[in-house]
Amino acid sequence: MELKHILPSDIEKESFRIIKQELDIMGKSISEDFEPTVIRAIHTTADFDYADTLVFSDNVIDKAKAAIQNGAHIVTDTNMTLAGINKKTLSRYGGEVHCFMADEDVSMMARQMQVTRAVVSMDKALKIDAPLIFAIGNAPTALIRLRELIDEKKLRPELIIGVPVGFVNVVEAKELILETDIPYIINRGRKGGSTVAAAICNSILYNMT
Amino acid sequence: MELKHILPSDIEKESFRIIKQELDIMGKSISEDFEPTVIRAIHTTADFDYADTLVFSDNVIDKAKAAIQNGAHIVTDTNMTLAGINKKTLSRYGGEVHCFMADEDVSMMARQMQVTRAVVSMDKALKIDAPLIFAIGNAPTALIRLRELIDEKKLRPELIIGVPVGFVNVVEAKELILETDIPYIINRGRKGGSTVAAAICNSILYNMT
C-alpha cells in the first residue's frame, strides 16, 4: 500500500489542488467568486456533482461577507451543522450559530401543530435580534416555511443556504427559494446535507478578509 | 410547485420506500442484514453509490449489536458525527460516544509530533475501559493509526466503521482496514463523511431489538 507522506497542515491544500486539477480535466470552469464554496463542498463529500448543481444568486458571496461583518447570526436546522461551522471566526464579527431543533418548546409545539420541528425552529428564529443567515442542511420543510415567512413579509434574511438532502419535497423546496429575491446558495436536486451546509458557511468565513 | 402532503412522522418512512423502490428499479439487491445500513447511508446523502461501495465483514451487524449490548463505547474523529449519533439509545446499554479532536492535550501533542489530531485521538482512545467501536468519518490518518495499533496488538476493536471522505490517502487507508480480521463496515473509495459515519451507527442503534 503506497501512502503519500504529507504534513498534517498540507493535507487540505493538497486536497484542494487535486479537486481543482480534476475539475480542469473534466472541463468544468467555475467563476472565481464561487470557486472556494464549490471546492469546499466537493472536499466535504468527494462528490463532483456539486460543481454542476450548486447555484448562486448575483454577488451572493460579497453580500454574505457583508452580512457577517454586520454581525449576522446563522440559524441552522441540524445540530451536526451547528457542530461543523467555525464559530470562533463568526464570533469575531459578533455572530452566533443557533439550532433550535432539540429545544423542548420546539418539540412540543411541533407535536401540537403536526408540523416538523424544523418549521417551528424557523418561527423561533424570528425572535433573534440580528441580521439572519439560514443554513438548511436537512429539512425541506424549513425552506418551505422560510418561503411562507418571506411572502408574509415577516422575514427578510440576508442569505439562505438551501442544501437539504432527501427524497420528499426536497427538490421542490429548493425551487421555492430560487423564486424569491433573497440572496441564496442552493444545491439543486436531492443532494446536500449537514456537512455541505457547514462547508458552505465555512467557505465564506475562511475567506472573510 | 406541487408539494407532497405527508405527516412529519411519515417523511422518513416515505423516503425509505422511495430509496428501496429506486434500488429495485436499478436492479441492485442488498442482503437483508445490510439493507438498513445501506438505505440509511443513501438517505443521508441522496447518493446511490453507497449501494455499490459499502462493504461489510461477515456477520458484522450481529457483532456490532452484541458489542453495544456489552456496553461498547463509540470513538469518532469528528464532532459532527458525535452530534449525529443517537446517544440516548446507546446509553441504554451503557455506552458513550467520545470525540477527542477538540481536546487541548490532543492538539498540543499533535503539533509536537507533527501528526494529525486524529492520530493522537486514536491513541487517547486506548485509555477507555470498555469494548470499542470506531466510527471514522473524516481522517484517513485515524484509520492508518488504528491499523498500526492493531498490528502492534495494542488494540482489538469490536468494529471499525471506516468512511472517511477525501482525496489524500483515503482510498488506501480504507484498504488497510480491509486487510485486518477486525469486523468492519467500510465505504470503498473517496466518499463518506461525518453524516455517513453517524448514519451507519444509527442504523445499528435503531435496529437493536
- Give residue-wise pLDDT tens across range A144-179: 999 999 999 999 999 999 999 999 999 999 999 999
Q: Which residues on B lie below 8 Å from A197 (Cβ)?
A: none
Cα distances from A46 to residues A15, A191, B171, in angstroms, run 10, 13, 11
Average pLDDT (B179-198) is: 98
- Which of residues 30 through 89 in chain A touch B, CB cutoff 8 A? 43-47, 79-84
Among residues of chain B, what percentage have pLDDT more than 90?
Answer: 95
Contact call for A172 and B3, based on CB within 8 A: yes
Chain A residue closest to B177 (CA)?
A: A1
pLDDT band at residue B157 under the 50/70/90 scheme: very high
Do B172 and A82 lie within an 8 Å CB cutoff?
A: no
Boundaries of every domain in chain B: 52-205
Taking the C-alpha atoms of residue B76 and residue B43, their distance in angstroms, rounded to an integer, is 21
pLDDT at B8 (0 to 100) = 86
3-state helix, strand, coil in chain B (%, to 5): 50, 10, 40
Judged against a pLDDT cut of 80, whether residue A209 lies above it is answered with no
Q: Which of A14, A45, A189 sits opposite B165 (nearest CB)?
A: A45
Q: Check B169 against A194: CB less than 8 A apart.
A: no
**Nearest residue in B to A112, CA atom:** B8
Q: Which one of B1, B25, B42 would you mutate to disrupt binding with A, by most A Cβ within 10 Å of its Cβ?
A: B1
Q: CB count, 10 Å around CB of A96? A: 14
Active site residue A73: no
pLDDT band at A117 (very low <50, low <70, confident <90, very high): very high
pLDDT for A204 equals 98
The residues with which A192 forms a beta bridge, in sequence order, are none
pLDDT at A21 over 80: yes
What pLDDT, on the 0 to 100 scale, is given for residue B132? 98
Confidence class for position A68, pLDDT limits 50, 70, 90: very high
Strand pairing category for A184-187 and A54-56: antiparallel
Query: Per-residue pLDDT for B1 more than 80?
Result: no
Q: How far apart are CA B187 and CA B162, in angstroms?
A: 7
- Beta strand B184-187 with B159-162 is parallel
Please, which pLDDT band fits residue A2 given cuts at 50, 70 and 90? Answer: confident
**CA dihedral of residues B139, B47, A52, A202 (deg, nearest 10):** -40
**CB atoms A8 and B176 under 8 Å:** no
Segment B54-113, tens digit of pLDDT: 999 999 999 999 999 999 999 999 999 999 999 999 999 999 999 999 999 999 999 999
- Shortest Cα–Cα distance, A139 to chain B (Å): 10
- Domain A51-205 class in CATH: alpha beta
What local confidence, expressed as pLDDT, does residue B59 receive? 98
CATH class of the domain whose range is B52-205: alpha beta
Which residue matches cell numbers 449519533? Answer: B85
**Lowest-pLDDT range, A63-67, A83-87, A127-131, B8-12?**
B8-12
Candidates B39, B116, B141, B167, partner chain A, best to mutate (most A CBs within 10 A): B167
CB pair distance less than 8 Å for B8 and A165: no
CB A71 within 8 Å of CB B72: no
- Single out the residue of A201, A147, A196, A200 nearest to residue A174, CA to CA: A147
Q: Crossing angle of helices B35-45/B8-25, nearest 10°? A: 110
Q: What is the pLDDT of residue B209?
A: 76
